[in-house]
């Protein structure tokens, strides 16, 4: 029998809300290496035998104490060098909060969990039509998650959610 090296599969949860006329997104501050102290989507590894949609809701609960529902795929990233621990393929889902008024609380391997303005994550200012007008990163992001947040913003616009 031939054995093949296989990449690990991870999932990431993207949640947004509009507060005081500003788009906010959920981020976690990583408690452990790699990228300890950096910001990221909440997420983690898919367990053997686990459906990725179940995994993203589990990781959301473990890292933020938020209950999620209706995960919708918006991106997949799999560059072999995106994670220093080895080749991972990440599945990015947009997730709705069960209780939109609940605030996140860091848990498991997330030192902190919070909503921050999307403009802070991307280093962007938005005009009145929510079009990005300046581009410079302001939060230190783990892995390739800055590109993931850019993809999430593009997806939100395409789906007419913002």
**C-alpha span between 9 and 5 (Å, rounded):** 13
**Token reading at 90:** 């990440």
**What percent of the chain lies above the pLDDT cut of 90?**
81
pLDDT of residue 89: 98
DSSP-assigned states of every residue in 113-137: EEEEEHHHHHT--B-TT--B-----
Give the pLDDT score at 32: 95
DSSP letter, residue 87: -
Positions marked active-site: 112
Q: For 67, phi and psi rounded to 5 degrees?
A: -95, 130
Query: For residue 154, how many C-alpha atoms fall within 13 Å in the half-sphere facing its CB?
Result: 8
For position 130, what pLDDT does the model report? 55
Q: Is-contact 30 40, C-beta < 8 A? A: yes
Q: Which CATH class is domain 8-158?
A: alpha beta
75 versus 2: which is more confidently predicted?
A: 75
Alpha-carbon separation of residue 146 from 38, 55, 133, 135 (angstroms)? 11, 22, 17, 12
In the predicted model, what is the mean pLDDT of residues 94-112? Answer: 96
Phi-psi sector, 64: left (phi>0), alpha (psi -120 to 50), beta: alpha
State what percent of residues in the chain have pLDDT above 70.
Answer: 91
Choose among 111, 117, 143: nearest CA to 132.
117
Tokens of 144: 């390739």
Two structure tokens written together for 65: 């104490």
DSSP at 52 = H
Instruction: Tell me the domain boundaries of the chain.
Output: 8-158
């Amino acid at each position: 029998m031939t054995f093949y090296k296989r990449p690990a599969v991870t999932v990431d949860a993207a949640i947004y809300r509009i507060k005081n006329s500003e788009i906010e997104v959920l981020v976690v501050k990583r408690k452990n290496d790699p990228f300890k102290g950096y910001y990221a989507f909440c997420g983690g590894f898919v367990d053997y035998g686990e459906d990725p949609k179940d995994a993203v809701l589990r990781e959301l609960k473990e890292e933020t104490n938020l209950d999620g529902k209706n995960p919708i795929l918006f991106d997949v990233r799999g560059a072999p060098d995106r994670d220093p621990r080895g080749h991972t393929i990440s599945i990015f889902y947009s997730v709705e909060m069960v209780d939109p008024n609940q605030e996140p609380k860091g848990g498991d391997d997330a030192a902190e969990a919070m909503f921050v303005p999307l403009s802070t994550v991307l280093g962007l200012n938005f005009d009145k039509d929510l079009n990005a007008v300046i581009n410079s990163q302001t939060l230190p992001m783990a892995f390739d998650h800055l590109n993931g947040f850019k993809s999430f913003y593009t997806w939100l616009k395409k789906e007419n959610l913002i």
